[in-house]
Amino acid sequence: MRIGVPKEIKSQESRVGLTPGVVHALVENGHEVFVETHAGAGVSLSDEDYRAAGAKVVDSAQAVFDSAELIIKVKEPQPVEIARLKPHHVLFTYLHLAPDPEQTKGLLASGATCIAYETITDKAGRLPLLAPMSQVAGRMSVQVGAGALLQPAGGRGLLLGGVPGVAPAKVMILGGGVSGEHAAQMAVGLGADVTLYDINPSRLAQLDAQFGGRLKTQFSARDAILAGLKDADLVIGAVLVAGAAAPKLVRRADLAIMKKGSVLVDISIDQGGCFETSRATTHAEPTFVVDGVVHYCVANMPGAAPITSTYALGAATAPYVMKLADKGMDAAFAEDAGFAAGLNVKGGKLTCRAVAESLGMENLLA
């Protein structure tokens, strides 16, 4: 199979779809890999690294799309990339279509087949290709939230972990999945007063045991969230409904009961955000203020740590890329229903019900 890796062009995005190690394995299996020049520059990988692995380095993104059948990316395609997609292409990347009708319409019009990392499941029902970036985002959320709490960044002027004789910050984490768990690890480790909210009592019990009493847990009822918001200094939104738009757990009116200079970090922004006042931001301008509350809503948080993120994502995606290349999509999907759950768009139709329902496009379901 002919496989292409274009350079990522989203703002402040330096990750790359395949590492040289995965390229080498693909070439060893008889596949051709086309990599755009400088695609790995943001993670200290040179064109020569890719040539040594057996890739053909080409001088433009257009050359990648013209040469390849299977396109491997990290972030959702930008409009100029969507325009390069043809019906014979298979695109394999993060898509996050539920809050993005324009991207969805573009992909449908292209006729391409589009597989989303974030809706693939494993045998236990987990999301194996979302997990590594959720780990990064969860850990980052505490770091960026702690920074935003400092007065020069517009925050209250509070040190997350406090000091002897001065109480630490109060941290709310909404969601006990992978991101929430890793956010809790960081916040607890820094000495914050941390409460995690989730709707699954079994998950709350698991986390309570895992943290040995260092993490408070709370069932995520509306009244409990409101009570927590009154005292919270940092609120981390880590809610996920696979493939669908995130529910709005904090409403605009709720900001009135929060402390001025408190901080919201919305990890769920890729799926539309779990705060009503969230809007996607970039690493260049990561925050904005609404009603005195600082919002951090960067849509590609792991892109700030591209080396860590590239290798973590590459290790997770490699087995799936190999299956697609070695067996073709139909055979790979036939033997792995969880992999098939990644299919979001094919032949101008939507194939993921959660996406279609979130966008009101049920009439375009295959």
Residue 328 pLDDT: 97
Q: State the catalytic residue, choosing from 193, 198, 233, 270.
A: 270
Residue 12 pLDDT: 87
- What tokens were used for 215? 């993490």
d(CA 189, CA 142): 10
d(CA 32, CA 227): 57
d(CA 309, CA 16): 9
Per-residue pLDDT tens for 270-294? Answer: 999 999 999 999 999 999 999 999 9
b/e sequence 218-250, b meaning 16+ C-beta within 10 Å: bebeeeebeebbeebbbbbbbbbebbbbbebbb
Residue 35 pLDDT: 98
Report if pTM > 0.85: yes
Residue 263 pLDDT: 98
Residue 278 pLDDT: 98
What value does the CA radius of gyration of the chain take, rounded to a whole number of Å?
21
- What tokens were used for 23? 């390229």
Query: In this structure, are residues 214 and 184 in contact, taking their beta carbons and an 8 Å threshold?
Result: no
b/e sequence 357-366, b meaning 16+ C-beta within 10 Å: bbbebeebee
Backbone dihedral region for residue 60 (phi beyond 0: left; psi -120 to 50: alpha; all else: beta): beta
Per-residue pLDDT tens for 176-193? Answer: 999 999 999 999 999 999
Tell me if residue 270 is catalytic: yes
| DSSP 8-state code for residue 263 | E
Q: State the catalytic residue, choosing from 96, 198, 266, 336.
A: 96
Per-residue pLDDT tens for 7-37? Answer: 999 988 999 999 999 999 999 999 999 999 9
